[in-house]
Structure 1
Amino acid sequence: MIHSSKQHKWRSDKLAHLGSSIFAEVAAWKAEARQSGMDIIDLGIGSPDRAPLPEIRQTLSEAVLREDSYAYPSSKGSAAFRNQAARWMQWRFGAEVDPEEEMVSLMGSQDGLAHLALAICNPGDLAIVPDPGYPIYSGALAIAGVRSWPLPLLEENAFRPDLDSIPEEVWREASFILLSFPGNPISVTVDLAYMERVVALARKWDVLVVHDLAYSEMGFDGYRPISILQVPGARDTAVEFHSFSKSFNMAGCRIGFMTGNAQAVGALRELKSNVDYGVFEPIQEAAVVALEQAMASGPDQGVAVLYERRRNLLVEALHLEGWAVPSPEATMFIWVKLPDAYGSSGEAGSSRRFAHDLLLRTGVAVIPGDAFGSQGEGYVRIALVEEEERLLEAARRIGEFLRSER
């Protein structure tokens, strides 16, 4: 008789909570569409389609040829990287952080998001996470055995978290609250007054604020995303994640950092020192150059210019095709309510059915909203990760598809 503990066939039940199943499902749909001869326009996964600046690539190429580049790196990040990241935080946000005690390098911000709950929580603790939210937010809690309290992002609130809706007993019990402005899949934006209120509540209830700022350099129409560390004293109760993937087209390099509260930074650093040896030194050198280039060129020369142009083009094209999609203030994503024919009221399965039919009949891939939480049903996420002529072609195909459904 097989012992009950072996009946899982060496696959943890926790994997079912990681949120990756829908992305695998969309990948299968794409494979099916390709087999039928369909030309795929992939507006699903938010992977930048441009390369880093030549200076960044040159630095990386030279560093990997040095014989001294292949020792174990520091698990907390090189001093050069941490110091430059701290200088960038001051330049970009006016936020002072200690590069020695309040900074840790990461293999992309997802690395830190996946491990933070393990480092700062015990099994059974509670965390507040947005719904819809980036899948690793809730997935990381499942890995750590931490309970989640989903904070709904509702259209009637402009998708901003309603802090007043969080019961006192949840605040009292929570270890941390995770927020993201602008976020993924919804590019929610807030002002400094909102951030000040978040920090005040966190202080009142002794809750850590975890702010995911992966899209800090993707603000449009003059809007520039803000750091929670701009709030005076926020380092006492907040940490923030930054990523080079979207801001500097370095997604494959796997480099980012977390900064803020020294105790939380130290906990994540300690955990990671037992999990990996940090980021490959040449990649950290390339990241230093990325930050230097950003500071030298100024705020109007980054990736936001490209994505704002793409946003304008696709939003206008879809409007002309009869789909009134919103124009986001930031990020590389458009969060769109489904056409009425597909159940925009949000009944179960509507998002997935729309994304499946759209891909199999037109070759345009988008991500169903329920991949990001129950509140995502009735929506899809569209990524601005194709060149302009391909975005126009995608809009044309979507228009034909919508007309055929009427």
Structure 2
Amino acid sequence: MRSESDTDVSFEDAPFDIPVADRVRRLPPYLFGKINKLKLERRRLGADVIDLGMGNPTDPPDAQISDKLKEALLDPKNHRYSVSNGIENLRREVAKRYDRKYGVSLNPDSEVIACLGSKEGFSHSCLALMGPGDTAIVPAPTFPIHAYAVMLAGGNVIQLDVRDPAAYLENVAYTCEHLFPRPKVVVANFPHNPSGTTVEQDFFDELVKLAKRFGFLVLSDFAYADIGFEGYQPPSFLASKGAKDVGVEFTTMSKGYSMAGWRIGFCAGNPQMVRALATIKGYYDYGIFQAVQIAAIIAMRHADPAVAAVVKEYAKRRDALVDGLNRIGWDVPKPKAGMFVWAPIPEEHRAMGSIDFALKLLAEGDVAVSPGRGFGEEGEGFLRLAIVENEQRLRQAVRQIDRCLKG
């Protein structure tokens, strides 16, 4: 017969099961985990790791933006809860910027909402628009959140290679014609992360026509709107006729304005889709810190020259990295936009796979990069390198890669 003490011990020793939600179980393994772990280990050992793995801007915002933030911090009213859709003057400034830059007319009250960065806005839009049984078409190679946000909303993902934009449109049409029920959402992301693929306005013209023909919604991730080189201006989805009938676009102040840690971005476009996002956000958050919103207004009003200077700096960094890699025998094209270089792994090293190759560069060369396999099967054979370090550091990264592969 068991004693009371035996019973107590058995309860204490028994493992306690934590039944996480199915939405968490559905998420695939995080393929960048090994890279991040090794990067931390190398740094703990004192290694000076040149980190080209994440598109995390290293430049500070323009001084007038920071100065406005400091001023706004001193106003006690700005420390209260803010409205979750963004203060009125901020939404008006977004509408003015769209009109000025793209010729797009937006109602700031119903067609613009502020987000905690474009990633949050995109993710919560998936939650607002999708559920079990719904399907989204996403670009491949795939920026992880484009697939994961759909999965977390309970939806299914179809990945279509986006590196040939015309073929991508044909494949979207083919999928819609042959899949039942038809896809509910199509994700656009140009300039594309990670491949750097760019499009002209006629791509979005055709995408709008397909959306109306097949009845899908468009989520345009326009995170690299401000970063175009040699006169190339990335086009806005919303500038195409009828775009507001079928979709929304997400922009961010993280890149061009170097305000990544400030977490401020926007969703603009179809008022019903904006309202659906606002409903979700109304339950999840109390909005962006108001001092940040006020500083963002000043940024959009006065800091465009600083954005142009940032773009010139990224162009110089792109040239330093791409020219350097090509000098050591790689064959790397120069991107027309964005803050990444999408580099084919040299043929003699391709068999080891992008993850092991990236681990080798980190362990033996102290250069951290993102393996293409982390962006899905279509990314295998490539590396994504962020041009976030200065030119000197990028040239040093090339030298370290060269020594690593020749050693």
Give me the TM-score of the superposition, normalised by structure 1: 0.92
How many residues are treated as equivalent by the alignment? Answer: 392
Secondary structure of 1:173's counterpart equals: coil
- Give 5+ residue unaligned stretches, structure 2: 1-9
Q: d(CA) in 2 for partners of 1:266 and 1:281? A: 21
User: Which residue identity lines up with residue 325 of structure 1 in the other structure?
Assistant: V
Q: Which residue of 2 aligns with 1:385?
A: 388
5 Å-filtered alignment, 1:104-115, equals 104-115=113-124
**Deviation of residue 132 (structure 1)?**
1.1
Q: d(CA) in 2 for partners of 1:392 and 1:354? A: 20
Secondary structure of 1:174's counterpart equals: coil
Q: Which residue of 2 aligns with 1:90?
A: 99
- Give 5+ residue unaligned stretches, structure 1: none
Q: d(CA) in 1 for partners of 2:317 and 2:186? A: 33
Contact 2:331 2:346 in 1 (8 A): no
5 Å-filtered alignment, 1:314-393, equals 314-343=321-350, 350-393=353-396
Q: d(CA) in 1 for partners of 2:363 and 2:306? A: 43
Secondary structure of 2:205's counterpart equals: helix
5 Å-filtered alignment, 1:62-211, equals 62-154=71-163, 157=164, 162-166=168-172, 167=175, 168-170=177-179, 173-211=182-220
Radius of gyration: which is bigger?
2
1:306 maps onto 2:309 in alignment: no
Q: d(CA) in 2 for partners of 1:169 and 1:307? A: 42
Pick aligned residue for 1:286 from 285, 295, 317: 295
Contact 1:177 1:207 in 2 (8 A): yes
**Deviation of residue 7 (structure 1)?**
7.9
**Offset from partner CA, 1:79-102 (integer Å, 9 cap, x none):** 010000000011111111111111
Of residues 335-344 and 198-207 in structure 1, the stretch that sits farther from structure 2 once superposed is 335-344
Secondary structure of 1:341's counterpart equals: helix
Q: Percent identity?
A: 37
Q: d(CA) in 1 for partners of 2:180 and 2:330? A: 40
Of residues 53-62 and 313-322 in structure 1, the stretch that sits farther from structure 2 once superposed is 313-322
**Deviation of residue 324 (structure 1)?**
1.8
Q: d(CA) in 2 for partners of 1:163 and 1:171? A: 18
- The CA RMSD over aligned residues, in Å, is 2.1
Divergent runs of 4+, >6 A: none
Contact 2:62 2:306 in 1 (8 A): no
**Deviation of residue 294 (structure 1)?**
3.9
Give me the TM-score of the superposition, normalised by structure 2: 0.91
**Deviation of residue 379 (structure 1)?**
0.9
**Deviation of residue 243 (structure 1)?**
0.4
**Deviation of residue 37 (structure 1)?**
3.6
Pick aligned residue for 1:261 from 245, 248, 270: 270
Of residues 63-72 and 356-365 in structure 1, the stretch that sits farther from structure 2 once superposed is 63-72
Pick aligned residue for 2:400 from 390, 397, 400: 397
Contact 1:128 1:177 in 2 (8 A): yes
Q: d(CA) in 2 for partners of 1:20 and 1:395? A: 30
Contact 1:174 1:207 in 2 (8 A): yes
Contact 1:20 1:135 in 2 (8 A): no
Pick aligned residue for 1:28 from 12, 37, 43: 37
1:39 maps onto 2:48 in alignment: yes
Q: d(CA) in 2 for partners of 1:35 and 1:213? A: 36
Cα 1:183–1:161 shift into 2, 3 Å:
farther
User: Which residue identity lines up with residue 307 of structure 1 in the other structure?
Assistant: Y
Of residues 43-52 and 170-179 in structure 1, the stretch that sits farther from structure 2 once superposed is 170-179
Q: d(CA) in 1 for partners of 2:241 and 2:312? A: 30
User: Which residue identity lines up with residue 356 of structure 1 in the other structure?
Assistant: L
Q: d(CA) in 1 for partners of 2:266 and 2:375? A: 23
Q: Which residue of 1 aligns with 2:7?
A: none
